[in-house]
Homo-oligomer: A and B are copies of this chain.
Amino acid sequence: MATALFHDGLTVHTQSHDYPIIITEKSATEASSMAKQVAPYISGRQVLIVTNDIVAPLYLKSLEDELAQQFTVKVCVLPDGEQYKNQTSIDQIYDALMAEHFNRDVTLIALGGGVVGDMTGFAAASFMRGVNFIQIPTTLLSQVDSSVGGKTGINHAQGKNMIGAFWQPQIVLAEMSTLKTLPARELSAGLAEVIKYALIMDADFLTWLEHNLPAMMALDLAVLGEAVKRCCQYKADVVAQDERESGVRALLNFGHTFGHVIETHEGYGNWLHGEAVAAGMVQAAELSQKLGWLTNEDVARIKRVLTLANLPITPPTIDVQTALDLMGHDKKVKHGQIRLILLKSIGEAVLTNDFDAELLTDVLSQHSS
């Protein structure tokens, strides 16, 4: 695989504007390149970098120092973790912006994983009714998923991602080298979303993953870069068709309705998002099998590939009625009917409420008390 691939970049087409995704393989010591890559996309003089206490020691200083040569740069360091993806953290970002007298010209930079990106994006969407922001995702999960497409937001105590906005970044910069500092558990969580793209969109990519997952888990940056690029291309195509998720974009939530139940029930942060999605995809596959769309072997194959990526394939024990109630809070509910993304076959997903409620109960009760 040619390294050149990673310097092509992609373009995301959205209603508000087009923007590039740059995927590079730079070495971690060359971290100053982050500043060089994003500086042309900063239109004013003011920059607020938002990051967390895990990522800050790794990448903040060089980014901050280099940008400070051209811009007024301030930093907001939030505590790490999904459990801090809430209004309190957003208020900290607002307070930092107000304390600096920053105005509509400010650019916010999200340096971190999906939680940092979602919160920074929502703060940018809502500060002074909308300012620019830039995504520098440092986890595999955020590189292939949350940093692309403009979904931003926070959790409500009663539901995940309930508060937010569609707000597009000026650029997404994914440096593969940042994956070298990512804990193995989080790399696996990111692989759940990579596998998701294969299951809903491209059976050939699943075969590719079955061959290449070992190299990815051994941090072969070239192979990881190729996978990230493919995933970003899938997502960019979907977002261009359906930015506000009135149609096809919903398919990207495969495994997520089941996964949200797990995350909400277990408390945000105890199961990683990707882990919950992995177990949730298995449940969605099981329901697809009960409908006669997937074979037993398809389900077994999905479990094998998730296991290869060190991901859980069994949800925690959750009472069926509790699970159904939690599903009622999910955004995919329409007119009170639970709609789920299921697989017609490997590589082809549908959003449907056309299934017997008992089959859903069957799937849920396999893991209830």
A: residues with CB less than 8 A from B are: 15, 44-45, 87, 91, 94, 98-99, 101, 103-105, 122, 125-130, 151-153, 156, 158-159, 161-166, 244, 328-329, 331, 333-336
Contact = CB atoms under 8 A, between A and B. Distances in A.
Central interface residue in A94, A98, A128, A159, by most chain B CB within 10 Å = A128
B98 A334 contact: no
A162 B165 CA distance: 16
15 contacts: A44-B335, A45-B335, A94-B162, A94-B163, A98-B162, A103-B331, A104-B331, A105-B334, A126-B163, A127-B163, A129-B161, A129-B164, A129-B165, A129-B166, A129-B244
A188 to B, nearest CB: 28
Contacts of A98: 156, 158-159, 162, 329
A331 B97 CA distance: 12
A87 B95 CA distance: 13
Given A103-B331, A104-B331, A105-B335, 15 more contacts: A15-B15, A45-B336, A98-B158, A98-B159, A98-B162, A99-B158, A101-B329, A103-B334, A126-B165, A127-B162, A127-B163, A128-B162, A128-B331, A129-B152, A129-B165
Contacts of A125: 165
A126 B126 contact: yes
A105 B334 CA distance: 7
Contact of A130 (B99, B104, B166, B336): B166
Given A103-B334, A328-B101, A331-B103, A151 B166 contact: no
A128 B162 CA distance: 5
Contacts of A99: 158
Given A87-B87, A156-B94, A103 B333 contact: yes
Copies in the complex: 2
Contacts of A161: 129
Nearest to A91: B87
Contacts of A153: 126, 129
Contacts of A244: 129-130
Contacts of A122: 126
A319 to B, nearest CB: 18
Contacts of A165: 125-126, 129-130, 165
A166 B131 CA distance: 12
A122 B129 CA distance: 10
Contacts of A128: 162-164, 331
A228 B79 CA distance: 49
Central interface residue in A105, A156, A329, by most chain B CB within 10 Å = A156
Contacts of A45: 335-336
Contacts of A156: 94, 98
Contacts of A336: 45
Nearest to A153: B129
Contact of A151 (B129, B164, B333): B129
Contacts of A103: 331, 333-334
A277 B25 CA distance: 55
A331 B126 CA distance: 13
A86 to B, nearest CB: 11
- State the 5 A-B residue pairs at the shortest beta-carbon distance, nearest first: A98-B158, A129-B164, A103-B333, A101-B328, A128-B331
Nearest to A158: B98
Contacts of A129: 151-153, 161, 164-166, 244
